[in-house]
Amino acid sequence: MVGLASPAEAAASATATYTKASDWGSGFEGKWTVKNTGTTTLTSWTVEWDFPANTKVTSAWDATVTNSANHWTAKNLGWNGTLAPGASASFGFNGSGSGAPSGCKLNGNPCDGGPTVPGDNAPSAPGKPTASDITNTSVKLSWAAATDDKGIKNYDVKRDGATVATVTGTTYTNTG
């Protein structure tokens, strides 16, 4: 029997990262890069973020950018929304003010791409299971916890490759 860890949240299928390409004092050029980090094709993307009250987008390219007060939304254009696994698309804008974006969402999920936001890496392997309380009809398995940047949701306990249980702790008693 083997225990496998599952991350607390499914891996994001895409990330969005922001860079300030240039700054000329009274304004700046910002750039977002959307990358498909999943295993299936992404058919569209929407990036949302907030700017402080004194910062705004004044013009944009390679995306349709709109706002409601300080909340900004960028949607792909017809030609750059489909991203195969590993592919990326970028869009840029000119802005005024000196604020930085915050609260980034990509298709409704955290962007996971900024330097201050942890990425979604695969969890570490849990510790090797040890058996105790062994009887003719049961065995208790225990293992050291796996680690993940977003926490561990559960462990799949497998026998000969087939899942026999999904548990949230680090022990499982198999009977029968």
CATH topology of domain 2-9+121-175: Immunoglobulin-like (2.60.40)
Question: For residue 143, which of 166, 173, 174, 170 has the smallest C-alpha distance?
Answer: 170
Question: For residue 67, which of 101, 90, 43 has the smallest C-alpha distance?
Answer: 101
What pLDDT is attached to residue 149?
Answer: 62
What pLDDT is attached to residue 122?
Answer: 67
Mean pLDDT of 42-49: 94
The beta-strand segments (E) located in 52-145 are 56-61, 64-68, 71-75, 88-96, 102-106, 109-110, 130-132, 138-142
Mean pLDDT of 118-144: 82
pTM flag (> 0.75): no
The tens digit of pLDDT for each residue in 76-104 reads: 999 999 999 989 999 999 999 988 899 99
- Contact between 86 and 36 under an 8 Å Cβ cutoff? The reply is yes
Where does the chain hold its CATH 2.60.40.10 domain(s)? 2-9+121-175
Q: Which residues pair with 166 in a beta bridge?
A: 156
What pLDDT is attached to residue 150?
Answer: 64
- Contact between 12 and 119 under an 8 Å Cβ cutoff? The reply is no
Half-sphere exposure of residue 171: CA atoms within 13 angstroms, side-chain side: 6
Q: How many CB atoms lie within 10 A of CB 60?
A: 18
The architecture of the domain spanning 14-110 is: Sandwich (2.60)
The tens digit of pLDDT for each residue in 140-154 reads: 999 888 877 666 777
Among the residue ranges 19-33, 39-53, 59-73, 161-175, the one predicted with the least confidence is 161-175
Where does the chain hold its CATH 2.60.40.290 domain(s)? 14-110
